Amino acid sequence: MEKYDKQGFVFWSKRDNTFVICYNMYYSFSSVHWTLMHELSHIFLGHATKTNILKLHSKDNKLFEIEAESFTKYLLCPYIVLSQCKILEISEIMYICGVDKNIALKKSISLKKIKIGNNITSLESLIIEQFNNFISNYLKYRKKGT
Where helices occur in the chain by DSSP H, the ranges are 29-44, 53-56, 62-76, 79-84, 90-97, 101-113, 122-130, 132-145
Given a cut of 80, whether residue 2 has pLDDT beyond it is no
Is 131 in a helix, a strand, or coil? coil
pTM of the model: 0.80
Q: Domain for residue 12, yes or no?
A: yes
Which residue range is the domain that position 38 belongs to?
8-73
Confirm whether 93 is domain-assigned.
Answer: yes
Asked whether residue 46 falls in the same domain as residue 85, the answer is no
1 lies in a domain? no
4-61 confidence digits (pLDDT tens):
667 888 888 889 999 999 899 999 999 999 999 999 999 999 888 777 664 555 555 7
The pLDDT of residue 62 is: 83
Phi/psi at 39 (5° precision)? -70, -40
Which phi and psi angles does 29 have, rounded to 5°? -55, -50
Name the band, by pLDDT with cuts 50, 70 and 90, for residue 63: confident
pLDDT in tens, 80-114: 999 999 999 999 999 999 999 999 999 999 998 88
Same domain for 34 and 59, yes or no, is: yes
Taking alpha carbons only, the member of 30, 3, 50, 28 closest to residue 95 is 30
Distance of alpha carbon 32 from alpha carbon 35, whole angstroms: 5
Q: Is the pLDDT at 142 greater than 90, yes or no? A: no
| Residues 138 and 87 occupy one common structural domain | yes
- Per-residue model confidence (pLDDT) at position 143: 82
Residue 3 lies in a domain: no
In the chain, the number of structural domains is: 2
